[in-house]
């Protein structure tokens, strides 16, 4: 019997099956993934039934996203973040027991070369903004301190901009620091209260979502990465409970346990804010991030 006799005729009902049948080894992991992806695409086309012109606009959008990506800007990562794909991958790969601090996505503004600073020092190198004192403790699920913990923090300034977004306006490494917990797992440092901000809306992804009425906001937050030998690394946020846009975080990072109040106090007659945080780490398991 000829090979042609085994082919599945391509039509609207069999399109996905016809594609999958072309693989020499349909049980190959890559073949199965591609077959599944293409099958979902075909189902979308059948559901929405675009014209040739409408489908060409989809192709043009994907092309524009590729052209907008370079070594300084990754529009595909932004697309993944804004549609919740990045958050979903993080959720699947970092499930933790109840009581442990949840992971969130790291975001695009992290720097691997963040300088170490002494406990109690200020990461606000320009001093612009409302003063904020951050005090925290790193512990395990039993409440025991982790004195070996490193705490890396980074944040936007009082206008909602990170230092690497404004290299000509903010000092190098402004609002960034690496701290080491003391023997009781505690750390503290000084900074300024961050502002929320809009995610980039000047590229093809932002323009498309904005046109569809999708919110492109991030509520005010601090970023943290907490790591210690023998424990899973925690990469997370702490969100300002007073921010009115907590319910529409564009990157899907808000969790109830990550929302904290920035308490207003007065020191020497001057107003400032304080924040108390607690990070609970879990022991590393084989195959999990450390």
What are 30-54's pLDDT values in tens digits? 999 999 999 999 999 999 999 999 9
Mean pLDDT of 231-250: 96
Task: Report the share of the chain in percent with pLDDT over 90.
Answer: 79
Query: H or E element: which one contains 234?
Result: strand 234-240
My answer on whether 172 and 234 are in the same domain is yes
The per-residue b/e assignment along 209-219, b for 16 or more CB within 10 angstroms, e otherwise, is beeeeeebbbb
User: Is position 19 within any domain?
Assistant: yes
User: Is position 76 within any domain?
Assistant: no
My answer on whether 227 and 105 are in the same domain is yes
Residue 24's pLDDT is 86
User: Is position 265 within any domain?
Assistant: yes
My answer on whether 11 and 106 are in the same domain is no
Mean pLDDT of 98-112: 92
Residue 2's pLDDT is 46
My answer on whether 109 and 249 are in the same domain is yes
User: Is position 87 within any domain?
Assistant: no
Q: What does residue 152 show for φ and ψ, rounded to 5 degrees?
A: -105, 130
First to last CA, the chain: 56
Indicate the number of domains in the chain.
2
User: Is position 245 within any domain?
Assistant: yes
My answer on whether 136 and 41 are in the same domain is no
My answer on whether 36 and 128 are in the same domain is no
User: Is position 69 within any domain?
Assistant: no
My answer on whether 34 and 154 are in the same domain is no
Helix, strand, or coil (residue 223):
strand
My answer on whether 20 and 121 are in the same domain is no
My answer on whether 112 and 207 are in the same domain is yes
Helix, strand, or coil (residue 30):
helix
Domain span including residue 170: 96-281
């Amino acid at each position: 019997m000829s090979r042609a006799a085994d082919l599945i005729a391509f039509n609207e009902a069999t399109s996905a099956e016809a594609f999958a049948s072309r693989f020499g080894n349909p049980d190959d992991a890559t073949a199965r993934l591609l077959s599944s992806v293409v099958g979902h695409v075909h189902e979308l086309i059948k559901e929405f039934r675009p014209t040739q012109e409408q489908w060409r606009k989809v192709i043009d959008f994907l092309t524009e996203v590729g052209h907008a990506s370079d070594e300084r800007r990754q529009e595909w990562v932004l697309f993944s973040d804004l549609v919740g794909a990045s958050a979903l991958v993080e959720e699947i790969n970092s499930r933790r027991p109840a009581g442990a601090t949840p992971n969130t996505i790291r975001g695009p503004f992290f720097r691997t070369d963040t300088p170490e600073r002494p406990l109690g020092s200020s990461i606000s190198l320009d001093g612009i903004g409302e003063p904020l004192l951050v005090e925290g403790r790193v512990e395990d699920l039993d409440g025991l301190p982790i004195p070996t913990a490193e705490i890396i923090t980074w944040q936007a300034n009082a206008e909602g901009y990170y230092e690497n977004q404004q290299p000509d306006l903010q000092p190098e490494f402004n609002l960034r620091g690496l701290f080491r917990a003391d023997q009781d797992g505690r750390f503290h440092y000084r900074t300024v209260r961050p502002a929320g901000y809009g995610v980039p809306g000047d590229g093809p992804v932002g323009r498309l979502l904005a046109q569809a009425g999708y919110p492109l906001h991030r509520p005010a937050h601090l970023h943290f990465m907490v790591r210690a030998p023998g424990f899973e690394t925690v990469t997370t946020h702490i969100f300002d409970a007073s921010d009115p846009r907590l319910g529409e975080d564009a990157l899907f990072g808000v969790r109830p346990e990550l929302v904290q109040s920035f308490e207003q106090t007065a020191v020497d007659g001057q107003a400032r804010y304080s924040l108390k945080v607690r990070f609970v780490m879990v022991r590393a398991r084989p195959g999990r991030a450390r």
